[in-house]
Amino acid sequence: MKVIVGLGNPGPKYEQTRHNVGFWAIDRLAAKLSVAVTKAKFQALIGETRIGAETVLLMKPQTFMNLSGQAVSEVVNYYRLQPETDIVVIYDDMDFAPGQLKLRMRGSSGGHNGIKSIVAHLHTEAFCRMRIGIGRPAPGTDVIGHVLGVFSQADKERVEKAADAASEAALYSIEHGFERAMNEFNQVSF
């Protein structure tokens, strides 16, 4: 089994915020696969499908961003998954310009509270990630205000394209492996 996790905050209040681009990618992947991500389980909304011989679970934690690790660890423990090979996490990253997509197989949280929570709950930094750039806050804007704010129209269009590319990369990684997905999709920019 493979689990593709998009990070975000639950509820309509946060749908269009920068912090929810992981949810955007899951929604696009769900649409491509004709899967409803609506079943409540593992403190998340999930949808299950098959890609070839692989069972794939799409997951949107409903724990709020800072507690994402609770939901991810529940699914990992329930299915006895290996984080380094069975989990892909898609999330926002301020270190990249809006619309940039970067993939990597492991690493630190980079200050991202959702990833900090996952690392703490899984006791490892070894899990695959897809980071969608959202840009840095404007001078005088705090980080929380930035990640919970909305994009300008131009940035939103770039980020939507990156979320779509992340969904394609996730699908590709299931079919061909994450390393090959990195070769195909890493550092794509819109």
Q: Are 75 and 44 in contact (CB under 8 A)?
A: yes
User: Nearest Cα to 39, choosing from 54, 64, 53, 57?
Assistant: 57
Element (H, E) at 84: helix 83-86
- Strands 128-133 and 87-93 come out as parallel
Question: Is 176 designated active site?
Answer: no
Distance CA 172, CA 147 (A): 28
Distance CA 52, CA 139 (A): 48
The identity of residue 27, as a single letter, is D
Distance CA 140, CA 74 (A): 38
CA–CA distance from 146 to each of 43, 131, 139, 150 (Å)?
26, 17, 11, 8
Positions marked catalytic: 19
